[in-house]
Amino acid sequence: MTKEVRVRYAPSPTGHLHIGNARTALFNYLYAKHFDGKFIIRIEDTDEKRNVEGGEESQLKFLKWLGVEWDEGADVGGNYGPYRQMERLDIYNQYVNELLERGLAYKCYMTEEELEQEREEQIANSQAPKYGGKHRNLTPEQIAAYEAEGRKPSIRFRVPDNVTYTFEDMVRGTIKFESSDFGDWVIVKKNGVPTYNFAVAIDDHLMNITHVLRGEEHISNTPKQLMIYEAFGWEAPTFGHMTLILNEDRKKLSKRDSHIIQFIEQYKNLGYLPEALFNFITLLGWSPVGEEEIFAKEKLIEIFNPERLSTSPAIFDVQKLKWMNNEYIKASDLDKVIELAMPHLIEAGRLSADMDEETKEWAEKVIGLYREQLRYGQEIVELTEMFFNKEIAYDEEAKNVLAEEQVPEVLQVFTDKLIHLEEFNKDTIKDQIKATQKETGHRGKKLFMPIRVATTGQTHGPELPLAIELLGKELIVERLDKLLKDIGA
């Protein structure tokens, strides 16, 4: 590419960073880094009524958590600021005045009630609702009369007649719109604040944005932005509109979808690793060459090819995310896994925040037992339940195991051997399991399943000798004695 690539992620602080926004940011970031370009963050905060407190901070905080860095923005500066739209009002006004002077925009004094009435009439007449142009050619006298009434005008762009707006979309190819599909649209609201489509076109031009990657819901905005580019004689950026993200029922991912967690902050709080989430989100609507799915950020930057952006909707597969996060957990060092999981045991009340060193070491070993199984940090609470419940409630599968004829003999011999153990650790316990096998002649499932069920209450689980060690000799012998009495051994 001859021109330096400059892309932007431009969130509105109307909410916190969610999956869709994060994907837009990641794709722009990967595109910029792949082509040695610049990634800019611009805050589009003109919808003041919908802005939420902490919205901007959340966007930036959790982008950083995901591993996204930017070259320019309100927090890091740059040569094309300000990077918040509400700090750029004087800039927009210059261009509004130019359009008014050239007759390419005009003041419209219609009230909300009048506009709604026009809309209802159009719908009743089976017409597509759009502004009909009633104030397109007001006389000076009419303007004066409306001003005298105290009406505040909006400013509308004068959409040209019989123009076809065409652009080559990076994802979808050639897209065309006719100017007749649009009524004259508002570029400045009655409160003096510019609308999205006007401000974004001005900003993208002045910030030298070369490529705009965004969700497909913005396709219908593109012709309005092209009108502004054409009005000022500017070169438009290259647009690319990413497909929708669908849930597993192939319905559009919605913030109201209770089956899928929406916000990046929630994934962090659940104990997902940012590297895994970065990897997973990148594969929502983009695919690499080959079958490999696990990639470090640096590798994704290297291989990111915009030609492989999908033309089909992306499916948010919750189980795949859990699988991928588990792959990252298994590849992490144990200290990182402990750091991920320990807070959840504390939050669940299983451990005290000011536990002593001995308890801390024990808890770290318990977490280490589940490193291969753990799919996200909070899952440690459920996985380690047997270590925090003194009593065992056997399920049907466990009861079936304990009903086998060899069980009393296996458990009696194993109990006798544990009672006399001076050193109670995984190695000595493993030796006693072998000794029980030798003495009883039972091996494989006939040996291991009764011991596992009797000591842990589970038919499946982590490394058995270490689990028994961590449960402790006193509790294990107590469980075995009680069970032997219950089965009449």
**Which residues are identified as catalytic?**
255
Place of tokens 């049907």: 396
How many angstroms separate the Cα of 99 from the Cα of each of 85, 94, 125, 133, 142? Answer: 19, 9, 33, 17, 21
Is residue 348 a contact partner of residue 381, using CB atoms and an 8 Å limit? Answer: yes
Q: Which two tokens stand for residue 255?
A: 């913030």
Which residues are registered as beta bridge partners of 73? 77
H or E, element range at 242:
strand 238-242
Place of tokens 């599909």: 181
SS (H, E, C) 215-233: EHHHHHHHHHHHHHHHHHC
180: Cβ contacts below 8 Å, ≥ 6 apart:
161, 162
In 3D space, the residue among 488, 480, 463, 486 whose CA is nearest the CA of residue 419 turns out to be 480
Which three-class secondary structure state does DSSP give residue 175? strand
Residue 273's Cβ-count burial label (10 Å; 0-12, 13-18, 19+) is buried
Radius of gyration of the chain (CA): 32
Can you state the angle between helices 426-440 and 445-456, rounded to 10 degrees? Answer: 130
Length of the chain: 489
Q: How far apart are CA 394 and CA 408, in angstroms?
A: 16
**Which residue stretches of 207-333 are H helix?**
222-232, 264-270, 274-282, 297-303, 318-331
Q: Which two tokens stand for residue 178?
A: 């006719």
Is residue 9 a contact partner of residue 28, using CB atoms and an 8 Å limit? Answer: yes
In 3D space, the residue among 409, 478, 465 whose CA is nearest the CA of residue 432 turns out to be 465
* Cα torsion through 95, 98, 102, 107, rounded to 10: 70
Which three-class secondary structure state does DSSP give residue 107? strand
Is residue 82 reached through a cis peptide bond, with omega within 30 degrees of 0 on the bond before it?
yes
9 φ/ψ angles, rounded to the nearest 5 degrees: -115, 125
